[in-house]
């Protein structure tokens, strides 16, 4: 008999169908991946299993856990279910953990609330569980508040709180989406190792995650199951068109299709830029330390790094949103003032920006037509209304949106449509440089592919130069002519796309490449060559900032800052770059 | 044209705005017109018929007060004064508070610090002392009540608006506008102010009742409306003294005051929905 048996599950909110006729089963000890894009009903299904849906949801069908029916069950039945049998790990541990309770206390309360253990026994079990999820020094860490832990450690604590009741089924709802890539790999490995006989329902939009970590997988589309089967089988011979498109959209390192390098004079240059902020109580926080950058016409340069690498600060300094401490930004040979306010309008026009969150970058109280026309009315105030309207319609067509979008408000757009509007707003004044700050990070896989393709098309047509900021190497690999890898405010490696992905020279680059989950079950689990997390930028390690996490570090690395050296087409900052072999 | 039509349709659809706005409009119109029909006026005393209960005789529909004055005409007059005070004082606090707060919040830094310390300094001033000072300098004047109430209320408004602006300023759509060199005035008017609407409208509907109460308090102290002129607050005060012998003197103006305050609250709720683009489908 299956542990969990879901039969013809339906969830609706009034007329809106969230999940429709969904049936699947999970055996004990099995790991099952539930895959789909946002809005496909993945999370709704998880909440239904746990009895956490809002009262407005109408549930039909059957959810049987170990033979017991839970559709229509009362709160007490669910309490018992949640107490010992099913646990959940949410996406964002920052929100899932109570900021006012110490980690140990939160775990202890779970044991006490469910009458599992009390007193010294509970304390011992808390420490034991924290140790099992790889929290270093669990005795001390159990006294820490959530904000005192790093993102990865918080997610470990969250997993500990789910596993402390020894559940039969662990539901992990996008457990790594809010984490850095190198930490994501660690958490996924952890989930594999500590489960033992706990079954796992892994909810994710990332096929790479499923490929390495699930026996079976289910593909959802618009609330319905479109494909299910063994992971290998689904990846090898997908039956459904939706699965095929998901597989195609999955980020993978496409070394072979990385575009050819572009030659020519640099359009935009950054020389030795440093950015620092005053942090009360800490002195100065050095976010960017003497970074050089050059962008040519028609070229896409990617800046890659985890949180705290300084990539966003670099962009803000480049745009003049924060004043660089030192260094120079020049555009077409003209050195730009550090503060955006003292830059000429023409310069502002030539450098346009797209943000990460498509919804947040559009004014919710303005219509699409007003949003898109605004830069035009600043830079070409002489245009009359008709001409403006024509330009807006033309640019919307270029981003594949019709005139019917003119009167819409941002909340009436999907994420992909909103990002297209943001691109239209940036491109309507025909800039030479487009800066994309994590511009596709918030989008679903297939939509992300569409946006990337759109940017490439526009680049091909107009010779636009793109500076692409991302934490995800998989995303940048298909579009970048050159790639810069940043770590704790410094460039560590810089080369053309093919070289970076084909033969990385810096151990950190290698680790980033390894950390991208491969959407191929045959490839096996990529081993994380990286332990620990990005150190706080407030107190960066001495010498090479990467040495505490580096498998190749030697004594020189702890004291001496490596200078940039050229090896073939690559510029790399590593003492041992010539000695070590990082080929996979 | 189509924009006006759409706004009209949206107003028609919004029940809270329709009903409460309708009641308030009706009250205001009746308060102006009905006294013209009545044979009585607000200051004529008739000691032969003091504290007369409501009835149809001699058009004393709401009865008379302890000086034998017609309560109906006085109540209508009170409504006029009360609505006027409330609306004018709220508009004063709305305009000053929103512009001051949005400017301080958006510009930020030292300008913000100086502007907000000025607000703090005004907060520290005792209100009554301030009003007495005004009375001494400008002599007793109906307009002074507006000035006094507005001058107090805009402080709260400015603080609330500034706080909201501080968080709006960091939003990406504001940054996008700033990057393109959109002027500060335009950013405040086009990007900041419309997104403040929800909070501001709710707060205005809270200041209207507050202004009405402050006015009646001032009148009670003898600093506000002077007899024989009156307001709903003053009438309620008078009614409290005669509560046992003539309960209608309290209940009629009190009930109307409550109705007006309630309508303003519903109106505020409805307007907030109306001004929020996210709400109209």
Q: Are residues A472 and A367 in the same domain?
A: yes
Residue A94 inside a domain? The answer is yes
Chain B: residue whose CA lies nearest to A375: B180
Q: Are residues A242 and A300 in the same domain?
A: no
Residue A548 inside a domain? The answer is no
Distance from CA of B16 to the nearest CA of A (A): 22
CB within 8 Å: B182 and A319? no
Distance from CA of B179 to the nearest CA of A (A): 7
CB within 8 Å: B179 and A348? yes
Residue A539 vs residue A113, higher pLDDT: A113
pLDDT at B1: 43
Show residues of chain A in contact with B172, CB under 8 Å.
355, 357, 360-361
Q: Indicate if the pLDDT at residue A527 is higher than 70.
A: no
A64-68, A320-324, B113-117: which is most confident: B113-117
Show residues of chain A in contact with B6, CB under 8 Å.
none
pLDDT at A528: 59
Return the structure tokens found at A265: 């004079």
Q: What is the CATH number of the domain that holds A47?
A: 3.40.50.300
Residue A431 inside a domain? The answer is yes
Location of structure tokens 């402080």: B155
pLDDT at A16: 85
Q: Which of A228, A249, A270 is the last residue of a domain?
A: A249
Query: Beta strand pairing status for A334-335 and A4-13?
Result: unpaired
User: What confidence tier does A524 reach under pLDDT thresholds 50, 70, 90?
Assistant: low
Query: Does B167 reach chain A within 8 Å, measured CB to CB?
Result: no
φ, ψ dihedrals at A195, nearest 5°: -70, -35
Three-state secondary structure call for residue A89: strand
Radius of gyration of chain B (CA): 22
Q: Indicate if the pLDDT at residue A56 is higher than 90.
A: no
Which among A365, A375, A408 is the top mutation candidate for probing chain B, defined by the most B β-carbons within 10 Å of its own β-carbon?
A365
pLDDT at B12: 75
Q: Tell me which long-range contacts A287-292 makes (C-beta under 8 A, separation of at least 24).
A: A287/A313, A287/A489, A287/A537, A288/A313, A288/A314, A288/A317, A288/A324, A288/A489, A289/A489, A289/A490, A290/A326, A290/A327, A290/A490, A291/A327, A291/A486, A291/A489, A291/A490, A291/A491, A292/A491
User: What confidence tier does A8 reach under pLDDT thresholds 50, 70, 90?
Assistant: very high
One-letter-per-residue 3-state SS of chain B:
CHHHHHHHHHHHHCHHHHHHHHHHHHHHHHHHHHHHHCCCCCCCCCHHHCCCCCCCHHHCCCCECCCCCEHHHHHHHHHHHHHHHHHHHHHHHHHHHHHHHHHHHHHCHHHHHHHHHHHHHHHHCCHHHHHHHHHHHHCCCHHHHHHHHHHHHHHHHHHHHHHHHHHHHCCHHHHHHHHCCCCHHHHHHHHHHHHHHHHHHHHHHHHHHHHHHHHHHHHHHCCCCCCCCCCHHHHHHHHHHCCCCCCHHHHHHHHHHHHHHHHHHHHHHHHHHHHCHHHCC
Q: Average model confidence (pLDDT) for chain A?
A: 87
Residue A384 inside a domain? The answer is yes
Q: Are residues A159 and A304 in the same domain?
A: no
Query: Does B159 reach chain A within 8 Å, measured CB to CB?
Result: no
Q: What residues contact A190, with CB distance under 8 A and at least 6 apart?
A: A133, A134, A156, A159
Q: Are residues A230 and A274 in the same domain?
A: no
Chain A: residue whose CA lies nearest to B190: A366
Q: How far apart are CA B127 and CA B135, in angstroms?
A: 12
Which among A15, A351, A374 is the top mutation candidate for probing chain B, defined by the most B β-carbons within 10 Å of its own β-carbon?
A374
Q: How far is CA A263 from the centre of its chain?
A: 31
CB within 8 Å: A375 and B180? yes
Closest CA to A479 of A501, A462, A494, A510: A501
Location of structure tokens 């946002």: A38
Peptide bond preceding B228: is omega within 30 degrees of 0, i.e. cis?
yes
Residue A526 inside a domain? The answer is no
Of B171, B276, B281, the CB nearest to A360: B171
CB within 8 Å: B173 and A361? yes
pLDDT at A100: 92
Of B171, B172, B181, the CB nearest to A378: B181
Show residues of chain B in contact with A348, CB under 8 Å.
179-181
Distance from CA of B194 to the nearest CA of A (A): 7
Q: How far apart are CA A380 and CA A384, in angstroms?
A: 9
Q: Are residues A236 and A207 in the same domain?
A: yes
The predicted-structure confidence for A183-192, as pLDDT tens digits, reads as follows: 888 888 888 8
Distance from CA of A365 to the nearest CA of B (A): 5
* Element (DSSP H or E) covering residue A413: none
CB within 8 Å: A365 and B181? no
Domains of chain B: 78-279 (1.10.3720.10)
Of B173, B180, B181, the CB nearest to A362: B173
Q: Are residues A278 and A242 in the same domain?
A: no
Q: How far is CA B250 from the centre of its chain?
A: 22
Mean pLDDT by 10-residue block, N- to C-terminus, for chain B (281 residues)?
66 81 91 84 78 78 83 90 86 88 90 94 82 75 75 87 91 89 89 87 81 78 77 86 88 91 86 69 42
Q: Indicate if the pLDDT at residue A584 is higher than 70.
A: no
Q: Are residues A243 and A260 in the same domain?
A: no
Q: Are residues A237 and A386 in the same domain?
A: no
Q: Which of A214, A249, A284 is the last residue of a domain?
A: A249
Distance from CA of A320 to the nearest CA of B (A): 9
Total of domains in chain A: 2
The predicted-structure confidence for A385-428, as pLDDT tens digits, reads as follows: 999 999 999 999 989 898 889 999 888 888 889 999 999 999 99
Residue A547 inside a domain? The answer is no
CB within 8 Å: B178 and A364? no
Closest CA to B246 of B60, B48, B55, B54: B54
How many Cα neighbours within 13 Å face the side chain of A412? 15
Q: Indicate if the pLDDT at residue A195 is higher than 80.
A: no
User: What confidence tier does A25 reach under pLDDT thresholds 50, 70, 90?
Assistant: very high
Residue A451 inside a domain? The answer is yes
Q: Among A157-171, A438-452, B137-151, whose mean pLDDT is lowest? A: B137-151
Query: Beta strand pairing status for A216-221 and A31-35?
Result: parallel
Q: Are residues A82 and A166 in the same domain?
A: yes
Q: Are A190 and A159 in contact (CB under 8 A)?
A: yes
Positive/negative CA dihedral, A192, A195, A201, A202: negative
Q: Are residues A235 and A276 in the same domain?
A: no
Return the structure tokens found at A530: 């990286």
A443-452, A523-532, B144-153: which is most confident: A443-452
Q: Which of A249, A279, A314 is the last residue of a domain?
A: A249
Sheet order of strands, A31-35 included: A86-89, A169-173, A199-204, A31-35, A216-221, A224-230
Chain A: residue whose CA lies nearest to B198: A365
Show residues of chain A in contact with B193, CB under 8 Å.
none
CB within 8 Å: B195 and A409? no
pLDDT at B277: 63
Average pLDDT of the segment spanning A119-126: 91
Distance from CA of B276 to the nearest CA of A (A): 7
Cβ contacts below 8 Å, chain A against chain B, sum to 64
CB within 8 Å: A364 and B181? no
Residue A23 inside a domain? The answer is yes
User: How much of chain A exceeds pLDDT 70, in percent?
Assistant: 97
φ, ψ dihedrals at A225, nearest 5°: -80, 120
Range of the domain at A15: 4-249
Q: Are residues A192 and A94 in the same domain?
A: yes
Q: Are residues A273 and A221 in the same domain?
A: no
Q: Are B13 and B256 in contact (CB under 8 A)?
A: no
Three-state secondary structure call for residue A265: coil
């Amino acid at each position: 008999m299956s542990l969990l048996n879901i039969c013809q599950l339906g969830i609706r909110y009034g007329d809106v169908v969230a999940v429709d006729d969904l049936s699947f089963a999970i055996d004990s000890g099995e790991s099952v991946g539930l895959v789909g894009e946002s809005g496909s009903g993945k999370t709704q299904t998880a909440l239904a299993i746990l009895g956490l849906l809002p009262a407005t949801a109408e549930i039909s069908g059957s959810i049987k856990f170990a033979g017991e029916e839970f559709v229509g069950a009362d709160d007490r039945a669910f309490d018992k279910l949640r107490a010992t049998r099913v646990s959940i790990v949410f996406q964002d541990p920052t929100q899932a953990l109570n900021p006012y309770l110490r980690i140990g206390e939160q775990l202890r309360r779970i044991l006490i609330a469910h009458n599992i253990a009390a007193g010294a026994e509970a304390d011992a079990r808390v420490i034991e569980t924290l140790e099992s999820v790889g929290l270093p020094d669990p005795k001390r860490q159990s006294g820490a508040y959530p904000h005192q832990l790093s993102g990865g450690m918080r997610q470990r604590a969250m997993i500990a709180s789910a596993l402390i009741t020894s559940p039969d089924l662990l539901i992990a709802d996008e457990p790594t989406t809010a984490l850095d890539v190198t930490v994501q790999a660690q958490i996924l490995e952890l989930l594999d190792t500590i489960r033992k006989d706990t079954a796992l329902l892994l909810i994710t939009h990332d096929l790479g995650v499923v490929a390495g970590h699930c026996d079976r997988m289910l593909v959802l589309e618009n609330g319905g199951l479109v494909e299910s089967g063994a992971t290998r089988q689904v990846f090898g011979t997908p039956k459904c068109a939706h699965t095929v498109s998901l597989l195609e959209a999955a980020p993978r390192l496409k070394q072979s299709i990385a575009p050819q390098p572009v030659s020519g004079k640099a359009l935009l240059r950054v020389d030795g830029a440093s950015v620092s902020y005053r942090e009360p109580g800490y002195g100065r926080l050095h976010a960017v330390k003497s970074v050089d950058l050059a962008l040519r016409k028609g070229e896409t340069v990617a800046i890659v790094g985890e949180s705290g690498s300084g990539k966003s600060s670099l962009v803000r300094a480049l745009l003049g949103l924060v004043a660089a401490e030192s260094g120079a930004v020049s555009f077409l040979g003209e050195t730009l003032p550090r503060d955006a306010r003292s830059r000429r309008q023409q310069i502002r026009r030539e450098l346009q920006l797209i943000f990460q969150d498509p919804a947040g970058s559009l004014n919710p109280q303005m219509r699409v037509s007003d949003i898109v026309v605004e830069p035009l009315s600043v830079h070409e105030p002489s245009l009359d209304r008709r001409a403006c309207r024509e330009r807006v319609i033309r640019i919307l067509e270029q981003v594949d949106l019709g005139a019917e979008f003119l009167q819409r408000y941002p909340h009436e757009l999907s994420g992909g449509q909103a990002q297209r509007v943001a691109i239209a707003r940036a491109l309507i004044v025909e800039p030479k440089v487009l800066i994309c700050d994590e511009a596709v990070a918030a989008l679903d896989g297939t939509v992300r592919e569409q946006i990337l393709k759109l940017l490439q098309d526009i680049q091909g047509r107009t010779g636009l130069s793109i500076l692409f900021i991302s934490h995800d190497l998989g995303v940048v690999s298909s579009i970048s002519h050159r790639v810069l890898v940043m770590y704790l405010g410094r460039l560590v490696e810089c080369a053309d796309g093919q070289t970076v992905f084909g033969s990385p020279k810096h151990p950190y680059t290698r680790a980033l490449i390894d950390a991208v989950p491969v959407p191929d079950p045959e490839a096996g689990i990529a081993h994380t060559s990286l332990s620990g997390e990005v150190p706080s930028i407030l107190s960066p390690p001495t010498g090479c900032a990467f040495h505490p996490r580096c498998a190749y570090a030697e004594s020189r690395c702890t004291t001496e800052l490596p200078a940039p050296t050229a090896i073939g087409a690559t510029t790399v900052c590593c003492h041992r770059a010539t000695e070590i072999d990082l080929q996979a | 044209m189509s924009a006006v039509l759409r706004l009209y349709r949206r107003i028609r659809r919004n029940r809270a705005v329709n009903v409460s706005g309708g009641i308030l409009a009706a009250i205001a119109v009746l308060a102006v017109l009905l006294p013209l029909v009545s044979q009585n006026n607000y200051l004529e005393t008739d000691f032969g018929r003091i504290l007369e209960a409501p009835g149809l005789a001699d058009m004393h529909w709401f009865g008379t007060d302890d000086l034998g004055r017609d309560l109906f005409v006085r109540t209508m007059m009170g409504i006029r004064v009360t609505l006027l005070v409330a609306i004018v004082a709220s508009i004063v606090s709305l305009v000053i508070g929103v512009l001051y707060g949005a400017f301080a919040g958006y510009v930020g830094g030292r300008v913000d610090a100086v502007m907000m310390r000025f607000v703090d300094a005004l907060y520290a001033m005792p209100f009554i002392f301030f009003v007495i000072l005004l009375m001494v300098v400008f002599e007793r004047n109906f307009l002074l009540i507006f000035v006094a109430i507005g001058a107090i209320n805009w402080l709260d408004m400015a603080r609330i608006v500034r706080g909201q602006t501080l968080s709006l300023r960091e939003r990406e759509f504001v940054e996008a506008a700033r990057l393109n060199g959109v002027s500060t005035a335009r950013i405040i008017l086009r990007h900041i102010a419309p997104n403040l609407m929800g909070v501001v409208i709710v707060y205005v509907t809270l200041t209207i009742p507050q202004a009405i109460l402050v006015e009646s308090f001032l009148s009670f102290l003898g600093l506000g409306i002077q007899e024989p002129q009156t307001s709903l607050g003053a009438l309620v005060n008078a009614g409290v003294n005669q509560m046992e012998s003539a309960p209608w003197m309290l209940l009629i103006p009190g009930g109307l005051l409550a109705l007006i305050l309630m309508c303003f609250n519903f109106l505020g709720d409805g307007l907030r929905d109306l001004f929020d683009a996210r709400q109209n489908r």
